[in-house]
A = this chain, B = another copy of it.
Amino acid sequence: MSADRTAGGKVLAVLAAFSRERPALTLSELARATGMPLSTAHRVVAELREWGALERGPDGRLRIGLRLWALGALAPRGLGLREAALPFMEDLYEVTHQNVQLAVRDDTEVVFVERIAGWDAVPVHTQVGGRFALPPTGVGLVLLAHAPAEVQERVLAGPLQRHTPYTLTDPRLLRQVLAEVRRTGVAVSDRQVTTDAVSVAAPITAGDDVVAALSVVVRGESPAAVRALTPGVRAAARGISRELGRAAAGTWPVDRGKGVSG
């Protein structure tokens, strides 16, 4: 939001002004949103447009450009991961016709990287690129269970938001659940986000690190709803892990506790 003092910061501030809620902005809106003078915004935007980071539609509004999208596609935790995972997710979807989700952890949040859903599946309010708290979701439980201790502590210490009567908010209980997740290799989220959905998730690994999680979300009112799906999810997750190992060398990062600069 606040206009950076630095030149590069302004470039980033302009980009940061775009969000899921506001994917298209006029120059003036952009200037207001970033708090920078119109002429400054204009100059920065011109540079970004020339490069292809921003595009201007026929309505005159600015949008994220195709080049930036393609660049983002190079993120190993974005499309790289997705590329490896999609065929397995397809299989899972074809069998279940339910929501199939792929997610990674970013600090104390889960970021959804891919989601397949038919029209008949339970409506879930996750979107690709979207974020959510870790504890209530299946994928989040998996990712949290295998996160560095320091991250776990911060999550357990912080306020745990309640979404339904079933949401776990007791740190002690949550700790037990996480241990269970580590022991069994799967996580089940029973109506913790909405009262009509249950999910089962399994970890995806690269080397010794858990780099992502895969889940299936179904309509249901008890863990039994996903029991039959568990083997399928585990198998798919392992398949993806294997595929990742096969991928080109040096493509795989690991997620460390906090993204602070060194």
Contacts and interface: CB of A to CB of B under 8 A. Distances in A.
Contacts of A129: 69-70, 73-74, 79
A66 B73 contact: no
Interface string A135-175: 00000000000000000000000000000000000000000
A78 interface: yes
A53 B61 CA distance: 24
Interface residues of A, number: 70
A73 to B, nearest CB: 4
Nearest to A94: B94
A64 B57 contact: no
A interface secondary structure, majority: mixed
Contacts of A256: 58
B252 A116 contact: no
A66 to B, nearest CB: 5
Nearest to A54: B75
Nearest to A82: B128
A228 interface: no
